[in-house]
Amino acid sequence: MAKTEVILTHNIVGLGGESDNVRVAAGYARNYLFPQRFAVPVTSANKRQLESLKQRRAEREAHEFNTMTELAKGITKLICVVKVKAGDDGKLFGSVTAGMIADELKHQFDIALDKRKIHLEHALRSLGEHEVELHLHAEVKSTLKVRVESLTPVAAPVETAAADAKAEKPHTEKRGKKHEAEKIETAEASPKAAKSEKAPKIHKPEKKAKAE
């Protein structure tokens, strides 16, 4: 495949920055870089533009460095919450990716951060807090706290519920026994009370003897 040398006029990820002299496929340069004005052919006239391109690049990189340095200072104080679906045992249905974290940073704090600057050794697969490394700039690194929460409350363990029921049972039995004892005492006392409260005998007056 034929190659050609070009001078980049813009920062191209994976290729280079302004003023870089790079070799690319001729078709890529002809069909993409040149029409989009992302590069110019290497000629004597274009080489004279290198100084202005280098100055523009230096200004851009200085601005990026200052911006990312300030962001690094503030972002360590934040906690980015990512809510996901999880089972009753707390295991996630899937995982939390750099793209999801970048979306939540934008949504929660209005911070626009390229997901490629969020470095995960592996996707997050458990609930709780995690520290995520950020490569904000070639010379600026930071960390972000990410708290993964379940969209639905995690159910209490079965063992705990059983233990609570077991602890409640003796109290219920004690109350039952106390109630039975009160019933028996009441039943024993009732006949005596009835006997003592029996109505007194009424003596009827004797009939007068018939007149003789």
Sign of CA dihedral 105, 110, 113, 114: positive
The pLDDT tens digits for 122-164 are 889 889 999 999 999 889 999 999 999 988 765 555 555 555 5
Which residue segment(s) compose the domain that 89 sits in?
A: 73-150
The 10s digit of each residue's pLDDT in 77-130 is 999 999 998 887 778 888 899 999 999 999 999 999 999 999 998 889 889 999
Residue 114 sits at the vertex; the CA angle it makes with 116 and 22, to the nearest 5 degrees, is 70
Q: Are residues 78 and 144 in the same domain?
A: yes
Dist. CA 125–CA 87, nearest whole Å: 12
Identify the CATH number of the domain in which residue 127 sits: 3.10.430.100
- Do residues 113 and 72 make contact, with C-beta atoms less than 8 angstroms apart? no
With respect to residue 120, please indicate whether it lies within any of the assigned structural domains: yes
Same domain, 67 and 7: yes
Task: Tell me what pLDDT residue 175 has.
Answer: 58
pTM, two decimal places: 0.58
Residue where one domain finishes, among candidates 131, 150, 169:
150
